[in-house]
């Protein structure tokens, strides 16, 4: 019996494997330990392998592709409808095996080692940014309990906390002064770590031609460009720019019935971090355009006259994502004065 399709339910130590033959009949149900995976699949004739895009999925996709197999990664939300019984490893592996053969299934491109490394830098930096914000809020709230109010912004903490600690008239206890001094030092350490990881991301950006190409788009900086290049493994896996925008949750959410279309706010699906970078970058581009004596971006100027700046920021982020797809899919350079052929006609 020749195995043609395999579904793997990934885990940390024990993997569940479900395999079928060319007629769709079950050929194998088996549990494999981590050290058995390589031996099993290197001796298996080339076949189609499906996995959920979860932890370690990209590592196993690269490994199994090296053995000659065709590997497809899928979002867990698209696999869930194929689970026929209560959730367990056996049922999940069977559902994955069935889902990977569906002709309309949406697959996730496997990332390279370099792309995963860059995304790891982004995750680490973002973790320290969140920790830095939490630490700043804690210092501000603790001082507020003693009637000492510091304006929002980390820069104000660095300027005002030393002055407050040296001021003997505020009657702060010595133990509390030492506590705030130590927390302020911790805040400075977190700030240094954020800058350190950001420098590493920018260094990779300068060495990546695709990232440099995307940075030329107004509203996309080194952080956004590197995150986009690392997250979009293959732009050609999307048919058009709108699909990429929908993948990032920047298109309207639809709730239509009875032939009456109803469009709501953006769907907010996909990568929250990437979508945040794009919208913040769009806000910066809007501020820069508003500060210019003459706004050369006619489309943006017209949009700002009609819509709230927050709505314009999301619209610009959506537009930028479609531009990103065009540059990556067709290997083009960004041209600010480019006019689509349909509009030019």
Q: What is the pLDDT of residues 198-221, one digit of tens each?
A: 999 999 999 999 999 999 999 999
CA distance linking residue 321 with residue 230, whole number of Å: 14
Instruction: For 297, list phi and psi in degrees, rounded to 5.
Output: -85, 95
**Which has more pLDDT, 183 or 237?**
183
Look at residue 218 and give its three-state secondary structure. coil
pLDDT at residue number 88: 92
Predicted confidence (pLDDT) per residue in 131-153, tens digit: 999 999 999 999 999 999 998 88
pTM: 0.87
Phi/psi for 138 (5° steps) reads -65, -45
| Res 310 pLDDT > 60 | yes
pLDDT at 189 over 70: yes
pLDDT computed for residue 124 by the predictor: 97
Cα–Cα distance, 296 to 90 (Å, whole number): 59
Residue 343 has pLDDT above 60, yes or no: no
Query: Which pLDDT score is estimated for 344?
Result: 54
And the tokens for 184?
Answer: 């302020």
The answer, yes or no, to whether residue 293 has pLDDT greater than 70, is: no
Measured at the alpha carbon of residue 20, what is the angle toward residues 14 and 22, in degrees to the nearest 5?
155
Q: Cα–chain-centroid distance for residue 181?
A: 36
């Amino acid at each position: 019996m020749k195995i043609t399709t395999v579904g793997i339910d990934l885990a940390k130590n024990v993997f569940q494997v479900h395999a079928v033959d060319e007629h769709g009949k079950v050929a194998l149900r088996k549990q494999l330990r981590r050290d058995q995976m390589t031996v099993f699949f290197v001796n298996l004739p080339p076949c189609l392998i499906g996995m959920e895009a979860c932890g370690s999925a990209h590592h196993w996709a690269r490994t199994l592709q090296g053995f000659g197999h065709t590997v497809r990664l899928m979002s867990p939300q698209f696999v869930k409808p194929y689970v026929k019984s209560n959730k367990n490893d056996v049922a999940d592996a069977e559902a994955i095996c069935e889902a990977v053969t569906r002709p309309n299934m949406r697959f996730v491109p496997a990332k390279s080692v370099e792309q995963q490394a860059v995304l790891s830098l982004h995750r680490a930096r973002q973790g320290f940014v969140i920790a830095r914000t939490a630490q700043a809020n804690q210092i501000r709230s603790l001082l507020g309990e003693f009637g000492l109010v510091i304006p929002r912004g980390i820069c104000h903490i660095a300027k005002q906390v030393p002055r407050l600690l040296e001021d003997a008239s505020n009657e702060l206890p010595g133990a509390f002064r030492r506590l705030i001094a130590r927390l302020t030092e911790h805040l400075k350490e977190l700030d240094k770590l954020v800058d350190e990881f950001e420098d590493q991301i920018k260094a990779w950006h300068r060495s990546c031609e695709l990232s440099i190409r995307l940075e030329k788009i107004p509203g996309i900086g080194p952080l956004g460009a590197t995150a986009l290049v690392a997250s979009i493994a293959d732009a050609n896996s999307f048919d058009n720019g709108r699909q990429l925008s929908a993948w990032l949750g920047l298109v309207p959410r639809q709730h239509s019935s009875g032939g009456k279309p109803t469009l709501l706010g953006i769907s907010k699906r996909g990568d929250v971090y990437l979508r945040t970078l794009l919208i913040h970058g769009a806000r910066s581009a809007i501020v820069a355009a508003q500060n210019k004596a003459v706004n050369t971006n006619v489309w943006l100027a017209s949009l700002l006259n009609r819509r709230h700046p927050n709505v314009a920021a999301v619209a610009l982020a959506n537009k930028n994502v479609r531009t990103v797809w065009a540059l990556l899919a067709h290997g083009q350079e960004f041209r600010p004065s480019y006019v689509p052929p349909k509009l030019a006609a």
